[in-house]
């Protein structure tokens, strides 16, 4: 699903125009990006948490030449799915009854 498809679903579910749904979605995404860029986290209960994480410097290998290279430390965005989201994606199977 891409952004335009998501906007279409959101507009239909909320009973608003596609333009209004697009504006709201863009505002939400922008707010999440700005907040995480500041080093803070955004938690949507049941959905998940967006936050920034530090990635340490490390030594890598060029797959083409085999030469080693230094990969500098950096900050990356990270998403951790919430319990309800995980359960919806991979529902737990009930244990089989023994006879």
In a domain, 63, yes or no: yes
CATH number of 37's domain: 4.10.520.10
In a domain, 98, yes or no: no
From the list 90, 81, 84, the residue with the least C-alpha distance to 43 is 81
pTM for this predicted structure: 0.79
Q: Work out how many domains the chain is built from and give that number.
A: 1
Q: Which domain holds residue 24?
A: 3-83
In a domain, 89, yes or no: no
In a domain, 92, yes or no: no
Predicted confidence (pLDDT) at residue 93 exceeds the cutoff of 80: no
In a domain, 29, yes or no: yes
**pLDDT tens column, 26-58:** 999 999 999 999 999 999 999 999 999 999 999
Report the distance separating Cα 79 and Cα 76, nearest Å.
10
In a domain, 54, yes or no: yes
């Amino acid at each position: 699903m891409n952004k335009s498809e998501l906007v279409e679903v959101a507009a239909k579910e909320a009973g608003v125009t596609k333009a209004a749904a697009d504006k709201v979605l863009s505002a939400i995404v922008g707010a999440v990006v700005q907040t995480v860029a500041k080093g803070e986290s955004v938690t949507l209960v049941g959905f998940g948490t967006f936050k920034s994480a530090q990635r340490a410097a490390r030594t890598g290998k060029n797959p083409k030449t085999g030469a080693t290279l230094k990969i500098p430390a950096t900050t990356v965005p990270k998403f951790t799915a919430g319990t309800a989201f995980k359960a919806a994606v991979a529902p737990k199977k009930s244990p089989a009854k023994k006879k």
